[in-house]
Every structure is written in structure tokens, then in C-alpha cells.
Structure 1
């Protein structure tokens, strides 16, 4: 009986398909207004829970108060299937609430709504939390537009009053403009960060990271957050590529789909106790899905290559020249990070040799997307006219650091083991840090100047 109820409950997926794929269709609106599918699931739940309670008695509810009791209850196949229908019903209720609220108020665009509903389908509370945060942000933004604050007078490119605080607010405002242009990509990035936080929370509650034979919550959390930060970095770079409207939609849409698959594989498989990439205990289907995971990662590399090609094809002698120059180094570092990822795929893990780890090289390469453009941005904000030598210095230092870390890894040595490679890596990264500190100090001095009317030199 309970297996039949479980199978019949699967038909509720049609409601999710309507909500996610056809949100503006009038049939979808009617389905959402009627709440037919949550009612359908609730009836199935009632048909299952009543016979169970008649069989066990209401005393079974006392087990809900302890972890051991809940574990004991869910060990019963019949009760586990009924509990699953319970989850399906309330996930759909949450999905319907998100759909109705957003269709009435349009706090987020429809593509972002679909991403959030997919997240609710896969990881219920994560989808709701993401929508709640975006809804609150959208409402605060609308309130700010209804009651705009007075702007402070400016002189040239630097505020005449307010100093660094005003500059930071301007930078935040510019970042929000970029986020609004790439809302689906931003929502996907935030979903990844939320999933990472969720994995970290689960690890803290469980008191360990291992799930089953192969599932590692720490790896999942690191993957989710790192990929989310990577996507947010791309959001900031997309305007520099100057995609056509159709080209931009195709690029961001394909990247969003690839990333959602990666998030689903990483988190669902880890929750099942299976390595999402190189499982040895999973079924043949799990191994095939792991192969598709590799294809999704390859698709992300191709996506980045397209973005990089569009950006690097631009000349560096215009107003965006220093930033474009810094991105040439950042792109080289990022392809190094992708190469490290391929290395891990070939090695079927992050270990290299006896004690080496490929992960530091992988992370360092990707962080070039934030570390190198940051220096160009600070120098531009400061109005520096001769920024190129410092951008070259920072870029070369970062790439030398990546090369030294790769050397340490190829030798199979631990990341912290003393060696010539590590000495070079530390010296190179300190050189980058010195340039970054100089750029920050120059910007500070420019912000503090009461009347900045001309560019200043780095040594100013």
C-alpha cells in the first residue's frame, strides 16, 4: 500500500514543472491558485498516516522528541514513505507561496524565480531562505527609491565630503547595478553559498563531515561556496565582454544550467554518502552521473573561455585599459586553476604524490579573478595615471606564485613543507600584497584629499 502511495505522489512533479518552466502560463496560474497538488499530496498523506496511527497508537508521537526516537521511527519502511510524502507536500506548499507572492509583486525576475523554485524542489529550506533574502533586499531597494537620500556634492572623481565611506557606497551601488543585469547568475551564485552554509551547519550538527562511505560534507561546502564566489566574480566581468543581448542570454543561461547540475550532483550525492565524481560504492547510474559531472565542468571551462576571449579581444588603451590588462593575468591564473581541476580528475582525487595536495593550486588560480582586478580598480579610483607598471608587477607576482605552488605540488610535497618552491611562492605573494597595499594607500590618500582635480602618481 505505502509503495503505491509513494508512486502516486510522484505525479506531483508536474506541478513543479509548470511552476519552474511555464510560470506565466494561465494554466500554471490556475494550478497555483487552486493549490490542487498540495491538496492531492495531503490526501495521500492522510491515507497513509491514519492506518499507521491506528496500528501503532498515538503513543508513537512521543518518539518525535528525541533524535533516537526519530531515527527509530524512520527505520520503519512504511513510516519513512509516509514521511517522504509529508516532505513533498510541504515543499510544494512553500513553492506555491513563493510563486504566488512573487507573481503578485515581482520581487525577482521570472528566471530567478524559476531558479529559486528549483532550489526549493531539491533543497526546500534553502530555496525558501534564498527567496526570503532576495525579497527583503528587493523591498528595501524599493523603499529607498520611494524615499531617496540626499546625495553629497562631489569634486572631480572623488567625493568632496564623506571620504572613503562615500566611495565605498558608490562602489556598492555600482556592484548592485551589475547584479541587476545578471540576476539569474547572481541568484545561482547565492544559492551555492547558501548550500555551502547548509553543509557546514549539517557538519556541525552531525559532529563530523563523513556521510556514509564516501560523502564528505566539508568538500561539498567548500565546492558550493567556492563556485558561488567564482560566479559572483564573473557577474562583475560580464559587462566587459560586451555580449549582444541574445548572446548574453545564451551565455549566462547555459552557465546557470551547468552550475545547477553541478550543485545538485555535489549535494545530493554527498547526502547519499556517495562521491559525486569518482564513486566506488555507487551504482552504474551514479557512475554515469559522475561522468556527466565531468562534462558539466568541461562546459564551465568552455563558458569561461568564451567570456575571456570576448574580454581579451578588446584593446587596453581605452578607459578600461588598466582593468583589461589586469584581467589578462587573471585569465591566465584561472586557466591554471582549471588545469588543476583536470589534474584532480585524472588523479581521481586531490592528492598528488605522497603528501601533495592539488587544492591550494586550484584555489590560488581562481582567486586571481578577485586579487588582480582589485589592484586595477583601486588605482583607477585613485586617479592614478601610471598604473600599468604596478598592474604588471602584481600580475607577474601572482603567476609566479601559482607556478611555485604547482612546482611544490608536482613534487608530491605537503603545501606547508619547507622547500625552494615554497620560498618562491611566499615571496611572490608578498610582492603582490605589497602592490595591493600601495594601491590601497594611494586610494586612501586620494579619498582624503579635499579637492582632487587631477590624477596623482602611485608614489604621490
Structure 2
């Protein structure tokens, strides 16, 4: 029974995904207003703790008065599972508190809110502490600027005096416009997120990720979400490519078809218990389809190269020069991710000795989000292009150094958890990127979040 309660509790992940990814959606607001998922988890906890107390008696509560008692109680697997549901319920309550208050007062921009909610999901008190400190800083800044609390905007409305919220609203409107224009790729990317969510629910219901001899639902979930995020990121780059009307149509349709085939192969084959790429138990047809899967991945690489060529061929002396510079570094990191994919194909798996090649694969692709983020924040902050270029060079070099260090560690066949010079360089490089990103965010926030003229031109391009 306790394992069943634990598996059913996995449905609450849907609430987290909506709070983090779609904070302004009316369904998300309804979920936050009704607290449906914390209530759901609380009911599961009530069932579990009632069963525990019926088995052990109320005397078990005395064990929570000292460390030895807590350790003794949590050695019981059933009690540990119920305790985990307890944690899940209160983590979501904290997340709802952050969401409700910030959606009303906008102490932090929505992207920052999503990051804080992610940390609340993963590390509970760390997310709350981050929000508490940022809220205190925002309140202090508003008091210094003599902005009364009662004039703060409600959800869906932004006061003219709130520069941060106005900048977020303006940039969000531009981004939503791009997604609407590129509806085919947007829908294909969202499909990946939904498929990943379905895999997560299937794991929770089944109690295992394994399907048959070779199927791993967790791999399908990671693949679906990764491709979805990748496509949604590329959508934002399309306006910078300056495609012709016919060219952009051919590019978007071909990429959408390739992605749909990849989704189908990954999910259908794994649901059948077959490795979609390197099957050893499938039929000859399955092996041929795996070869087509490889060609599909190659086609997606070609589509990226076409987009990158169109974007990076542009001169960088305009208003969007800092963004184009960041995309050059991001393109290099992405090509490293594709190289990692070919590496996995060459060894017919994701392992190199005791190391996984997947971290290198992921680090390269996430450069597409991490590096343009720095450029966008600097542009919104109105930092002069020459000064912004120095920051972007630092962030780009740090990210590429981290990717190179991960590749070095992986080539040695050692997992990233092993402390080596390569692992130390990886950590130091990622911290260096994080420092530049934090400085860019701080510069934007301290400037009131008001976009400079250059930022307006970049948003117009989007």
C-alpha cells in the first residue's frame, strides 16, 4: 500500500510543471487558488500515516524527540515513504505561497520566480530562502523609490511606475508573438514536454521505469523534454535568421517532421521494451528503424547548422550585436553536444568506461539557453555594446571551458563525481558563468529593469 501511495503522489508533479513553466496560464492560477495538489497529497498522507499509527501505535511520535529516534523510525521503509509524501505536500504549500504572493506583487520577474520554484521543488528551504531574500531586497528598493505597496500591479496588470514588471511584460509579449508565428514548431516543442510528463506519470503509476528487456521510460522522458526545450529555444532564434518566406517554410516543416519521427521512435519503441537506437533484441525492422533514427538525428543537426549559419552570418555591429556574439559561443557548445551524440552512436551506448556521455551532451545543448540569457539581460539593462561584449566573452569562454573539461573527464572514462583536475575546472568554469549571469541580472534589476533603446530594437526583431 505504501508504495502505491508513493507512486500516486507522482501525479502532483503536474502542479509543479504548471507553476514553473506556465505561471500566467489561467489553469495554473486556478490550481494555485484551490491548492488542489497539496490537498491531494495531504489526503494521501492522511491515509499513509493512519495506517502507520494503526500498526505502531501513537508511541512512535516520541521517537521524533531525538536524533536516534528519528534515524530508527526512518529505517522503516513504509514510514520513510509516508514521510516523503509529507515533504512533498509542504514543499508544494511553500511553492504556492511564493507563487500567490509574487503573482500579486511581482517582487521578482516571472523567470526568476520559475527558477525559485524549481529550487523549492528540488531543495525546499533553499527556494524559500532565495525568495525571502529577493522579496526583502525588492521591498527595500521600492521604499527607496517611494513606490507605495498598494500601487503594485495585480496579476495581468502592470503599473507604469514598476519598471521591472513593465520590462518583463514587454519582453514576454515579444516572445509570445514569436511562438504564435512559429506555431508549428512551438506545438512540436510543447508536445515533447507533454510526452515527457506522460512518461513521468507512467513511471509513477507502474512503480518502475523498466519496460521489457531494453525499454527505459526515464530515457524517453529525458529525450522528450530535451527535444521540446531545444525546439522552443530554436523558435526564438528564427526571427534573427532573416529567412525568405519559402526558406523558413521548408526549414520549419522539415524540422517538425524530423522531430515528430524522433518522438515516435523514442516513445513507441521504448513502450515495446526495445532500445530505439541500439537494440539487441528487436527484429531486423527495428534495427533498420534505428538506422533511420540516426539519419533523423543527422537531419536535425543539418537544420541547426542552416539556422546558425543564417543567424551568425549577420554583422554584429548593430543593436543585437551582443546577442549574436553570445549565439556564436552557444553554437560552438551545441556542436559539441552533437559531437557527443555521434560519440554515443560510435560506441552504441551512452557510456565511456565508467563515465556517462550524457552530461557532455546536455551541457552543450544548454549553452543555447545559458549564453543568450546573459546577452539579453545586459541588453535589457542598457549596458553599452562594447562593455557587454566583454561580459559575453567571459561567459562564453567559461561555458566552453566547462564543456571541454567535461569532455576531458568523460574521455578518461571517469564519472564527473570523481575529483580530478577536469572536474575542478568544470566546477570553476560553471561558477564563473554563474557569476557573470548574476552580475548581468543584478545590473538589470538595479537599473529598474528598464530596457534601453537597443533592447527595444532586439525585441522588435523578435
- 1:150 Cα shift? 7.9
CA 1:448 to 1:166, structure 2 compared with 1: closer, same or farther past 3 Å? closer
Match of 1:199 in 2: 199
- The alignment's TM-score, normalised by the length of structure 2, stands at 0.63
- Tell whether the 8 Å contact from 2:276 to 2:290 is kept in structure 1 after alignment: yes
- Root-mean-square deviation (CA), in Å? 1.8
- 1:277 Cα shift? 0.4
Q: Does 1:397 align with 2:398?
A: yes
- Tell whether the 8 Å contact from 2:399 to 2:429 is kept in structure 1 after alignment: yes
Distance in 1 between residues matched to 2:182 and 2:341, nearest whole Å = 26
Q: Superposed, which structure 2 residues align to 1:332-343 within 5 Å? A: 332-343=332-343
Cα-to-partner distance string for 1:34-69 (whole Å, 9 max, x where unaligned): xxxxxxxxxxxxxxxxxxxxxxxxxxxxxxxxxxxx
Match of 2:299 in 1: 299
Distance in 1 between residues matched to 2:333 and 2:454, nearest whole Å = 34
Cα-to-partner distance string for 1:216-263 (whole Å, 9 max, x where unaligned): 000000000000000000000011000001000000000000000000
Q: Which structure 1 residue ranges, 4+ long, deviate > 2 Å from structure 2? A: 149-153, 451-455
- Tell whether the 8 Å contact from 2:350 to 2:357 is kept in structure 1 after alignment: yes
Match of 2:226 in 1: 226
- The alignment's TM-score, normalised by the length of structure 1, stands at 0.63
- 1:170 Cα shift? 1.6
Unaligned stretches of 5+ in structure 1?
1-148, 154-160, 456-460
Cα-to-partner distance string for 1:283-308 (whole Å, 9 max, x where unaligned): 10000000000000000000000001
Distance in 2 between residues matched to 1:199 and 1:332, nearest whole Å = 31
Q: Which has the higher contact order (CA 8 A, sep 6+)?
A: 2
Greater gyration radius: 1
- 1:448 Cα shift? 6.1
- 1:453 Cα shift? 9.5
Distance in 2 between residues matched to 1:401 and 1:452, nearest whole Å = 32
Match of 1:256 in 2: 256
Q: Does 1:365 align with 2:364?
A: yes
Distance in 2 between residues matched to 1:337 and 1:350, nearest whole Å = 13
Cα-to-partner distance string for 1:341-390 (whole Å, 9 max, x where unaligned): 1101111111001x111000000000000000000000000000020100
Match of 2:430 in 1: 429
Q: Superposed, which structure 2 residues align to 1:273-288 within 5 Å? A: 273-288=273-288
Unaligned stretches of 5+ in structure 2?
1-155, 456-462
Match of 1:446 in 2: 447
- Tell whether the 8 Å contact from 2:188 to 2:260 is kept in structure 1 after alignment: yes
Distance in 1 between residues matched to 2:449 and 2:295, nearest whole Å = 51
Q: Which deviates further from its counterpart, 162-171 or 399-408?
A: 162-171
- 1:164 Cα shift? 1.7
- Partner SS state of residue 447, structure 1: coil
Q: Superposed, which structure 2 residues align to 1:146-157 within 5 Å? A: 153=160
- 1:162 Cα shift? 1.5
Distance in 1 between residues matched to 2:158 and 2:436, nearest whole Å = 33
CA 1:260 to 1:452, structure 2 compared with 1: closer, same or farther past 3 Å? closer
Q: Superposed, which structure 2 residues align to 1:45-194 within 5 Å? A: 153=160, 161-194=161-194
Match of 1:388 in 2: 389
Match of 2:106 in 1: none
Distance in 2 between residues matched to 1:427 and 1:437, nearest whole Å = 15
Match of 1:406 in 2: 407
- 1:338 Cα shift? 0.3
- 1:163 Cα shift? 2.6
- Tell whether the 8 Å contact from 2:210 to 2:217 is kept in structure 1 after alignment: yes
Distance in 1 between residues matched to 2:380 and 2:293, nearest whole Å = 41
Cα-to-partner distance string for 1:428-453 (whole Å, 9 max, x where unaligned): 1100000000000000011168x989
Distance in 2 between residues matched to 1:453 and 1:394, nearest whole Å = 24
Match of 1:418 in 2: 419
- 1:172 Cα shift? 1.4
Cα-to-partner distance string for 1:181-208 (whole Å, 9 max, x where unaligned): 1100000000011000001110111101
CA 1:428 to 1:231, structure 2 compared with 1: closer, same or farther past 3 Å? same
Distance in 2 between residues matched to 1:310 and 1:397, nearest whole Å = 25
Distance in 2 between residues matched to 1:414 and 1:375, nearest whole Å = 29
How many residue pairs were aligned?
Answer: 298
Match of 1:15 in 2: none
Distance in 2 between residues matched to 1:151 and 1:216, nearest whole Å = 46
CA 1:454 to 1:350, structure 2 compared with 1: closer, same or farther past 3 Å? closer
